[in-house]
Amino acid sequence: MGPQEKNVVLLIADISGYTRFMVSNAETLQHSQIIITELIQAIVKQIELPLEIAKLEGDAVFMYFSKSDNYQELEKTRRTIGEKLVTFFRIFSEKIVELSGTHICECNACMNIEKLKLKIVVHAGKALLYRIGRFNELAGVDVITVHRLLKNSAASPEYILMTEPAFREMIFPQTVSVVEGAETYDEIGTVKTFLYEPARFLADDARLKPVPKYSRFGKRMAKLKRLPIVLTLSFSRGKKFNNLPVIE
């Protein structure tokens, strides 16, 4: 099948603070990458139809869904996506709490997990869907626009930033308070935006959840500790951690 132009809603879930986190923790790169991978996987596990993954982009997940011509089906999709956006923040916040509670060393990466945040940008428009080998690709001005939105004037590191057409497509599970704004980009012009900060409403709930005693993250880090160390890792040798799993 050849290239097809479709009406789509485009979403990018991006880990805020990724570059600073990786650069500042270069000496503990193995732990840094495990942490980022755990967070990305937590988001990916929540993605289901009609939402599809377009591409994994290091510290981000690029997603989209094609708009249906059926009004009832589109209405259902709008509600589903609105719920998913809030779910992404809840799952990310819970994973941060889990990882923070199951680290096994005092390296910079393990001790600064809480500094990682989630931001999501959403835009609606048209995209050309085509295939290169085994991969589905998206192209077009609106695809460029949603990526440009990652560089914006939002002061908070945690938010959902929606363009005006995207905001019209979202039906959230509860009433949301948004702040209207605008972003200007070369060759694209001024884009009207709506900023929603769900993380502050979810943080308290996430902190109340108990940390799993036997975390998959804790097992991976413990196994890593037993491997030959190539990088300079600052493992704590004398301190005991009561919440660590037993490695058979």
User: Rounded mean pLDDT of the chain?
Assistant: 78
Strands (E), 26-167: 52-56, 60-66, 117-132, 135-139, 159-163
Q: Flag whether pLDDT at 238 surpasses 60.
A: no
Q: Is residue 124 part of a domain?
A: yes
Q: Look at residue 13 and give its three-state secondary structure.
A: strand
Q: Flag whether pLDDT at 27 surpasses 70.
A: no
Percent of the residues in the chain that have a pLDDT greater than 70, as a whole number: 73
pTM: 0.76
Q: Flag whether pLDDT at 247 surpasses 50.
A: no
For helices 29-44 and 71-101, what crossing angle results, to 10°?
Answer: 150
Q: Is residue 71 part of a domain?
A: yes
Q: Is residue 238 part of a domain?
A: no
Q: Is residue 34 part of a domain?
A: yes
Q: Flag whether pLDDT at 5 surpasses 70.
A: yes
Residue 40 — very low, low, confident or very high, per pLDDT cuts 50/70/90? Answer: very high
Q: Is residue 231 part of a domain?
A: no
pLDDT at 183 (0 to 100): 97
User: How many domains does the chain divide into?
Assistant: 1
What's the CATH number where 48 sits? 3.30.70.1230
Q: Which range in 6-20, 43-57, 92-106, 117-131 is most confidently predicted, on average pLDDT? A: 117-131
Q: Is residue 236 part of a domain?
A: no
Domain span holding position 120: 4-226
Give the pairing of strands 60-66 and 4-16. antiparallel
Tens-digit pLDDT profile for residues 120-171: 999 999 999 998 877 778 999 999 999 999 999 998 889 999 999 999 998 8
Please give the average per-residue pLDDT across 81-92, as a whole number.
91
Q: Is residue 81 part of a domain?
A: yes
Percent of the residues in the chain that have a pLDDT greater than 90, as a whole number: 39
Q: Is residue 237 part of a domain?
A: no
